[in-house]
Amino acid sequence: MKTKILLDEEQIPKTWYNVQADLPSPLDPPLHPVTQKPVGPEDLAAIFPMELIKQEVTTDRYVAIPEEVRDVLRLWRPSPLYRAHRLEKFLKTPAKIYYKWEGVSPAGSHKANTSIPQAYYNMKAGMERIATETGAGQWGSALAFATMLYDLECTVYMVGSSYYQKPYRKSMMNVWGAECIPSPSTRTNAGKAVLEKDPDTPGALGIAISEAVEDAATHANTNYALGSVLNHVCLHQTIIGQECREQLATVDDYPDVVIGCVGGGSNFAGIAFPFAGDKLTGRHKDVDIIGAEPASCPTLTKGAFMYDYGDVAGLTPLLMMYTLGHDFVPPSIHAGGLRYHGDSPIVSRLVHDGVMRAVSLHQSEAFEAGQTFARTEGIIIAPETSHAVKVAIDEALKCRKSGEEKTILFNCSGHGNFDMSAYDAYHAGNLVDYEYPDELIREAIGRIPKIQ
């Protein structure tokens, strides 16, 4: 029985898969934050290169990956697919468990799959600097790596709670030449406004996005880059699921269950969208696709499906998505990459339409699953990833009870080498399981502007 399933370099996909082509009806368009009219390319040109704008709106099923981008991806792709034999044995399950290991990228996570093309297109457009935000630091690290390769400057606004919890992510960005600033900061008007209202705020992705967008919009040599949520970001990540299909085909297998953790939706989209396409087109109707999110930030499980801003200051277009309200500030859990008030419009649409589903988890049970994974498979994973592992374990235990021999696939989206203080907190019994009160969620959703 194989443990590690590999592909050759020439088998790196040559196209990204666009699930929009297989949706029964088009996505609701993004709306201008002021006029509330559909956004056009000219509205986005101030912060994005035109090639990414085209990818954001295209409904073509496949988008070609530039050879220059594939050349960089060869540093770690195709990433390995592992059969988790030791985990299966520990769980005494008849299920087969596979995981796609994205921690082999130089930045240590799946985020480099989109940071490379985004930096490439900005370089081709003549940009000199990119501004961005990051939650737990995986995206900031990945963009710092990519901008270094293309000789671009990089400014990263890192959510304050994660900035202090995970100092070595900042160090990693600094090594690659990027500047990392705790958010909210006094560098932007958006940051100053938040600090004036709440000087002790832990920060949130919505706040950091406001700062990065403001930075990009007020500097002619600077564009903005986002590591999740947007259509073109999810598009770039589909390289993950496409490779998985090829790898599973070599052992004559196909998943019954596909799992990923969900913050904004990028790594979940990356592994899930190719299989969601199979489901939408009738090739594999029964595949169960599950997103795992924190109970402290339950966007897909308790949010409202409606138009909302992607940031706290209302600078971004209004997106049709599951949201907890753009001014929602979740508690400072250790899975900082999952602390976002909204979700990818495509992920949201597929969950709303029943193509995929979501579950929420407390951080203590996620960390327990992460430790089980480390003690069976040997890899210490990021707190975000441990949410996906928890759901995979739960599904495998259901198979033990029922006797079903299902194939379970999950995206192991990044390593936890810089998250050891979080594991220390788990071992010390200091993790707090916070389930956000329904009444506070209703209040935050009630402050979302009503779209005519």
pTM, entire model:
0.95
pLDDT, tens digit, 9 for 90 and up, residues 77-134: 999 999 999 999 999 999 999 999 999 999 999 999 999 999 999 999 999 999 999 9
DSSP-derived letter for residue 39 is P
pLDDT, tens digit, 9 for 90 and up, residues 233-276: 999 999 999 999 999 999 999 999 999 999 999 999 999 999 99
Pairwise CA distance, residues 153 & 176, whole Å: 10
Question: Is the model more confident about 438 or about 399?
Answer: 399
What pLDDT band is residue 432 in, cutting at 50, 70 and 90? confident
Average pLDDT, the chain: 94
**What's the confidence (pLDDT) of residue 452?**
67
Are residues 323 and 424 in contact, defined by beta-carbon separation less than 8 angstroms? no
Peptide bond preceding 66 in cis form (omega within 30 of 0): no
Q: What per-residue confidence (pLDDT) applies to 48?
A: 95
**Token pair for residue 201?**
């705020």
pLDDT for position 299: 95
Provide the percentage of residues in the chain whose pLDDT is more than 90. Answer: 83
Which comes out higher in pLDDT, residue 406 or 420?
406
The C-alpha atoms of residue 447 and residue 77 are separated, in whole angstroms, by 44
The CATH code for residues 66-108+235-446 is: 3.40.50.1100
* pLDDT exceeds cutoff 90 at 206: no
Q: What is the pLDDT of residue 334?
A: 62
**Predicted confidence band of residue 75 (pLDDT cuts 50, 70, 90):** very high
DSSP conformation class of 67: H
Band (136; pLDDT cuts 50, 70, 90): confident
Residue 184 to residue 177: CA distance in whole angstroms? 21
Per-residue burial over 376-389, b = 16 or more CB atoms within 10 Å of its CB, e = otherwise: bbebbbbbbbbbbb
Q: Which amino acid is at 116?
A: I
Sequence length of the chain is 452
- 3-state SS class at 38: strand
> pLDDT tier at 437 (50, 70, 90 boundaries)?
confident
Predicted confidence band of residue 151 (pLDDT cuts 50, 70, 90): very high
Which of 73-77, 157-161, 283-287 reaches the highest mean pLDDT?
73-77
Lowest mean pLDDT among 2-6, 57-61, 339-343: 339-343
C-alpha to C-alpha distance for 136 and 300, rounded to whole angstroms: 20
pLDDT value for 195: 96
- Describe the chain by its helix, strand, coil percentages, rounded to 5: 45, 20, 40
pLDDT value of residue 7:
98
* pLDDT of the residue at 419: 87
Residue type, 106: P
Query: Which pLDDT score, from 0 to 100, does residue 444 have?
Result: 86
pLDDT at 337 exceeding the cut of 80: no
- Distance separating alpha carbons of residues 52 and 38, to the nearest angstrom: 18
Asked whether the predicted pLDDT for residue 170 surpasses 70, the reply is: yes
pLDDT for 57 equals 94
- Cα torsion 105, 269, 179, 42: sign: positive
Structure tokens at 288: 């169960």
**Which of 70-74, 409-413, 420-424 is least confident?**
420-424
The pLDDT-based confidence of 438 (bands split at 50, 70, 90) is confident
The answer to whether residue 378 scores a pLDDT higher than 80 is yes
Query: How do residues 15-72 score in pLDDT, each as one tens digit?
Result: 999 999 999 999 999 999 999 999 999 999 989 999 999 999 999 999 999 999 999 9
Cα distance between residue 408 and residue 448, in whole Å: 38
- Higher-pLDDT residue of 332, 384: 384
pLDDT at 332: 65
Residue ranges of the domains in the chain? Answer: 66-108+235-446
